[in-house]
């Protein structure tokens, strides 16, 4: 049979810039525009008037592979985006709100994770200290304010696992410059005024104010909350989650460091409040701080006061940016020949910084399975939408887990979060199971889970959740656990002795760049 060449996917149109648009453009161009046997044309249409939300300042470790795939040097990325290292998150006040209430969710897996379930060993042997601090040397690195690598470590390699804190606006700008300089990408700076349908229900083109109609075979909607293609044109239903995750507003500020040598945190600080939580992210030149709260439980004035109480004198004179959050996601992200990515594909409160990683996952998918032709697109779209729905449910369950395990009672916000009516059935089932069985890999069967088993274990243990299992460890398992702890202590001693301070390394990177080969 002769292939119908008119069905081939050759022209990709990305509508919208920002982090989502330029990250998609960078990944697709790096994949498909460097091979002569795969000619794909990419056009990005960016509005000159739409400003990015600009508060997505945390990434997961996978960003390192993404930047490598795009072809951006780590030294350049860190310099141009005011980036610092993120080694995980520290949660303050989530258990009960007391002064000593804190725990870490590090990016590095427990020592010996591939041989023994260290959470089970920890709860049976009950060593002194926290679970994460006992089984993962990275916690001590974070507590001491150290970097995850040395200046001589090769780019994108690490002694321990890490992601980044970054200036989202500057990151989008870096991706844009890199795209336009390195790849054969068409760029249109104009307003999209209309989406034009084809006879078969596909999108045929988008009309712009000054550049006419831009035709394509495949459209990627990166128009943010506006969702011009998936939402406005296709009217794909939106699945709200405000009955599960109550936070619907954020007040964000940028705070300068009090001194040139002030410490730069190497974790995202997440501090619970009476009606939500406060993020605190350290970049090289400032802190990004914001109060995520539920407006149904307090006024904006009260929420602002809680942010002021957290920041103290540093709050005086700060310019506040208010961000409205409509928690939820579309019933599916891929309709006909249109895929929504970024905020147009849904948004929840940024408790575990899952926004940018979902853009990366979408880009990974297309780099592996860009439809070759129109008939193949429907098959791939169906698979993508199944994964999309599963991923969102996993994120919702994981975020809700933080609230459900809390014992705070200082506001109805926390009590209502623990009410069974607000807890998804899937999470209720897991919690019921975990009361008698330690969480295991069989509960997370997919090869690319959005949160792996050990992320759940760090949160469960950090919130003092215990399983009442009757199954004891064997003698060999106990011996293995103790050996892993001993190895971890040895690694910890080496790390604390040789790793540089976080700010010290960032200053060296700014001056010299990485020296590793």
Q: Which string of DSSP letters, residue by residue, matches 8-47?
A: B--EEEEE--HHHHHHHHHHHHHHHSS-TTS--EEEEEE-
Cβ count near 229 (within 10 Å): 28
Residue with tokens 């040139």: 260
SS3 label, residue 231: helix
Question: How far is residue 384's CA from residue 45's CA, in Å, rounded to a whole number?
Answer: 24
Rg of the chain (C-alpha set): 24
Q: Record the tokens describing residue 324, joined without a space.
A: 């409205």
pLDDT band at residue 55, thresholds of 50, 70 and 90?
low
* Confidence (pTM): 0.95
pLDDT band at residue 53, thresholds of 50, 70 and 90?
low
- Averaged over 50-57, what is the pLDDT? 70
pLDDT band at residue 5, thresholds of 50, 70 and 90?
very low
pLDDT band at residue 275, thresholds of 50, 70 and 90?
very high
pLDDT of residue 343: 95
Task: Report the phi/psi class of residue 283: left, alpha or beta, with left for phi > 0 and alpha for psi in -120 to 50.
Answer: beta
pLDDT band at residue 2, thresholds of 50, 70 and 90?
very low
For 259, counting Cβ atoms within 10 Å of its Cβ (0-12 exposed, 13-18 middle, 19+ buried), the class is exposed
Report percent pLDDT > 70 for the chain. Answer: 97
pLDDT of residue 517: 53
The CA-to-CA distance between both ends of the chain, in Å, stands at 51
Residue with tokens 């795209």: 179
Q: 248-324 has which fold?
A: D-Amino Acid Oxidase; Chain A, domain 2 (3.30.9)
User: Which residue in 451, 424, 263 sits closest to 354, CA to CA?
Assistant: 451
- Tens digits of residue pLDDT in 145-168: 999 999 999 999 999 999 999 999
Which run of H or of E encompasses 454? helix 453-462
User: Which residue in 334, 329, 364, 361 sits closest to 347, CA to CA?
Assistant: 329
pLDDT of residue 507: 97
Burial 187-208 (b: 16+ CB within 10 A, else e): ebebebeebeeeeeebbbbbeb
> Looking at domain 8-57+167-241+327-391, which CATH architecture does it have?
3-Layer(bba) Sandwich (3.50)
CB 252 within 8 A of CB 289: yes
Listed by start position, the domains of the chain span: 8-57+167-241+327-391, 248-324
């Amino acid at each position: 049979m002769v292939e119908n060449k008119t069905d081939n996917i050759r022209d990709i149109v990305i509508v919208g810039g920002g982090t989502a648009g330029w990250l998609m453009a960078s990944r697709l161009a790096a994949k498909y525009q460097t091979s002569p046997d795969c000619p794909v044309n990419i056009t990005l249409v960016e509005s000159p008037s739409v400003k990015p939300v600009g508060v997505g300042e945390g990434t997961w470790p996978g960003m390192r592979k993404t930047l490598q795939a795009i072809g951006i040097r780590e030294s350049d990325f860190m310099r141009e985006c005011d980036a610092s290292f993120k080694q995980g998150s520290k949660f303050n006040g989530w258990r009960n709100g007391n002064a000593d209430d804190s725990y870490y969710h590090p990016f590095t897996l427990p020592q010996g994770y591939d041989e023994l379930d260290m959470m089970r060993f920890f709860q049976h042997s009950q060593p002194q200290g926290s679970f994460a601090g006992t089984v993962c040397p990275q916690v001590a690195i974070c507590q001491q304010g150290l970097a995850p690598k040395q200046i001589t470590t090769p780019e994108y390699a690490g002694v321990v696992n890490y992601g980044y804190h970054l200036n989202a606006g500057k990151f989008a700008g870096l991706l844009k410059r890199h795209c336009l300089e390195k790849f054969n990408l068409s760029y249109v700076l104009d307003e999209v005024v209309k989406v034009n349908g084809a006879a078969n229900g596909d999108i045929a083109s988008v009309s712009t104010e000054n550049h006419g109609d831009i035709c394509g075979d495949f459209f990627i909607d990166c128009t943010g909350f506006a969702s011009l293609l998936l939402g406005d044109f296709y009217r794909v239903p939106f699945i709200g989650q405000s009955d599960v995750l109550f936070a619907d507003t954020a007040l964000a500020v940028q705070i300068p460091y009090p001194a040139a040598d002030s410490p730069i945190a190497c974790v995202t600080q997440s501090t619970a409040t009476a009606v939500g939580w406060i993020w605190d992210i350290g970049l090289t030149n400032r802190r990004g701080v914001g109060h995520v709260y539920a407006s149904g439980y307090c006024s904006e004035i009260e929420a602002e006061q809680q942010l002021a109480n957290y920041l103290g004198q540093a709050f005086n004179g700060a310019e506040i940016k208010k961000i409205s959050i409509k928690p939820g996601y579309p019933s599916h992200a891929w309709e006909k020949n249109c895929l929504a990515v970024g905020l147009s594909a849904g948004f929840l409160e940024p408790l575990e910084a899952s926004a940018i990683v979902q853009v990366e996952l979408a880009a990974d998918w297309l780099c592996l399975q860009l439809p070759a032709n129109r008939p193949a697109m429907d098959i791939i779209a169906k698979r993508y939408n199944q994964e999309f729905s599963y991923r969102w449910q996993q994120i919702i369950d994981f975020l809700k887990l933080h609230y459900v395990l809390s014992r705070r009672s200082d506001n109805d916000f926390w009590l209502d979060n623990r009410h069974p009516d607000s807890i998804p059935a899937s999470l209720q089932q897991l919690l019921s199971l975990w009361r008698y069985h330690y969480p295991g890999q069989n509960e997370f069967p997919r090869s690319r889970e959005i949160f792996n088993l050990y992320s759940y274990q760090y949160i469960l243990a950090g919130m003092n959740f215990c399983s009442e299992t009757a199954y004891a460890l064997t003698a060999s398992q106990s011996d293995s656990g103790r050996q892993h702890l001993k190895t971890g202590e040895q690694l910890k001693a080496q790390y604390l002795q040789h790793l540089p301070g976080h700010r010290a390394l960032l200053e060296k990177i700014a001056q010299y760049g990485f020296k590793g080969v």
